[in-house]
Amino acid sequence: MKNYIAENKQRFIDELIELLKIPSVSADSSYKEHTFKTAEEVKQRLIEAGADKVEVCPTKGYPIVYGEKIIDTNKPTILVYGHYDVQPADPINLWDSPPFEPVIKKTDLHPEGAIFARGACDDKGQMYMHVKAFETMMKTDSLPCNIKFMIEGEEEVGSENLGTFVKENKQKLKADVILISDTGIIANDVPSITTGLRGLSYIEVEVTGPNRDLHSGLYGGAVANPINVLSKMIASLMDENNHITIPGFYDKVEELSQEERKEMAKAPITDETYIKSLNIDAVQGEKGYTSLERVSIRPTLDVNGIWGGYTGEGAKTVLPSKAYAKISMRLVPHQDSDEITELFQKHFENIAPKSVKVKVTPHHGGTPYVTPIDFAGYVAAKRAMENTFGKTPIPVRSGGSIPIVALFEQELGLKSVLMGFGLDSDAIHSPNEHYGIFNYMKGIETIPLFFKYFTEEFNS
Ligand code: BES
Ligand code: MN
Ligand code: MN
């Protein structure tokens, strides 16, 4: 197996590069054709790797690519999930090379080189590791159990149609565990396995003042400026301790025991990690918690975008009629996305002064997820990584969200193993996203071992 991977390394890299050239941006309809084409391409790659019954399943949005290899119905089945869609590449002018023209470059953290392209890590690169690991098991006659693939094209926009697909195809998706590579490790010499994902509430707000844009000299001072008002309202959502002020927001938040927090503190991530890599002078966050805790076991509120008024060249003295913002809250276990969205909505309407009207529009949400570390899936991932990294992986809760994972558990009764290989510094969703060749190859080597150990653990 190791030989097969080494012999085919260059081809594995070249194939990924070809896939990265197709701009499958799910959020932007001008990329529609390319996104559909990517699904066809993934189907083709699965067929070539040796999968049966490969199909592009249509949905109301982008299709889901399904494929399987059933070798023996008495053996366990691993369902692999991933996504072929990517985030928009904006702001394009901050990329050092075009986002859909992949190039390999060396970096401090990736001395062996990394592939720079939108989707290199999130998630085409990580998803494709599974296709190549599967090919490897097929070609070396070492697939130890059944495998099913479910690769979607709407993860970056909320996975709504996948939810429907899962509910309607429970039999087809019958499996014993779900395996996902769409998260990361602490560092290339510090392997870790993700044991939690945060949930999400995403909201858009509109603040309206006067019925039209006004001359800021003739009216300024007497009429509410919606941008001033919105800024103040947003600022009031957190107090001086960076505690969120929405009434009821923390009611269901699970507090970790001192013991659990002590265990967490062993992970080699400190304030310095952030300060150095982000070129900031200090970290900032909720009082009473470490940086690592702030990005994993604590809920947060962030403004993702804010606009209104005049932003063109030069100066225009205007008192705008409207101001807007997109606000997201990351949630932790037991917080309910719909409930938090409602609390936000009520509070935001409450704190608005009489001088403006506010409109709150909810976007997609997501439920938080945590996995135990003593079930067959986790143990198999741990053994696999121990083997390929030569170190025991550390369990860590991630701050990111993959909303569909909670639905998998709810609808299919299946736990997900979050065995990702990216680094936080891979710049996913940002300009210059990249994925280390080391990480890509490590994934392809580790996945077949997961299959082997899961089959063993399952039978024991
Ligand atoms: N793969 C990421 C989530 C992720 C990355 C989790 C790294 C843990 C570590 C996923 O594609 C993503 O970006 N999710 C979105 C949510 C979605 C509803 C747009 C997120 O977390 O913002
Ligand atoms: Mn992803
Ligand atoms: Mn993403």
List the beta strands (DSSP E) in 192-332: 192-197, 199-208, 214-215, 300-308, 318-319, 322-331
Q: The tokens 């603040």 sit on which residue?
A: 207
Q: Rounded to 5 degrees, what are φ and ψ at 53?
A: 50, 40
User: Tokens at residue 384, please?
Assistant: 């696999």
Ligand 1: atom nearest CA of 83 is 11
Specify the pTM: 0.94
- What class has domain 199-253+299-366? alpha beta
Q: Which one of 87, 121, 157, 182 would you pick to mutate in the ligand 1 pocket, going by the greatest count of ligand atoms within 8 A of its CB? A: 182
Q: Is 435 left (phi over 0), alpha (psi -120 to 50) or beta?
A: beta
Q: Which atom of ligand 1 is nearest to the CA of 182?
A: 1
Pick the CATH number of 2-197+369-459 from 3.40.630.10, 3.40.50.300, 3.40.1190.20, 1.10.760.10: 3.40.630.10
Q: How far is the CA of 304 from the centre of ligand 3 (A)?
A: 15
Instruction: Look at residue 64 in the predicted model and tell me its pLDDT.
Output: 98
Could you report the per-residue pLDDT of 71-92, keeping only the tens digit for each? Answer: 999 999 999 999 999 999 999 9
H helices then E strands: how many in the chain? 12, 18
CA distances, 244 to each of 91, 247, 250, 305, 353 (Å): 30, 9, 8, 18, 20
Ligand 1 shell residues, CB under 6 Å: 122-123, 155-156, 158, 182-184, 200, 364, 366, 398, 400-403
d(CA 125, CA 181) in angstroms, rounded, equals 9
How much is the pLDDT for 364? 85
Sequence ranges of the domains in the chain: 2-197+369-459, 199-253+299-366
Q: How far is the CA of 454 from the centre of ligand 3 (A)?
A: 27
Pick the atom of ligand 1 nearest to 429's CA.
13
Helices 437-459/124-139 angle, 10° precision: 60
In 367-418, which ranges are E strands? 369-370, 394-397, 416-418
Count Cβ atoms below 10 Å from residue 211 Cβ, excluding itself.
Answer: 7
Which 8-state DSSP code applies to residue 212? Answer: S
Residues of the chain with pLDDT under 70: none
Beta bridge partners of 151: 65, 82
Q: What is the pLDDT of residues 313-366, one digit of tens each?
A: 999 999 999 999 999 999 999 999 999 999 999 999 999 999 999 999 999 899
Q: What is the DSSP letter of 142?
A: -
Task: Determine which residue's CA is closest to atom 15 belonging to ligand 1.
Answer: 401
pLDDT at 459: 87
Give residue 295's pLDDT. 96
What is the bridge-based pairing of β-strands 322-331 and 300-308? antiparallel
Rg (CA), the chain: 23
CA distances to 21, 105, 136 from 11, rounded to whole Å, are 16, 18, 12
Expressed in angstroms and rounded, the spacing between residue 86 Cα and the centre of ligand 3 is 7
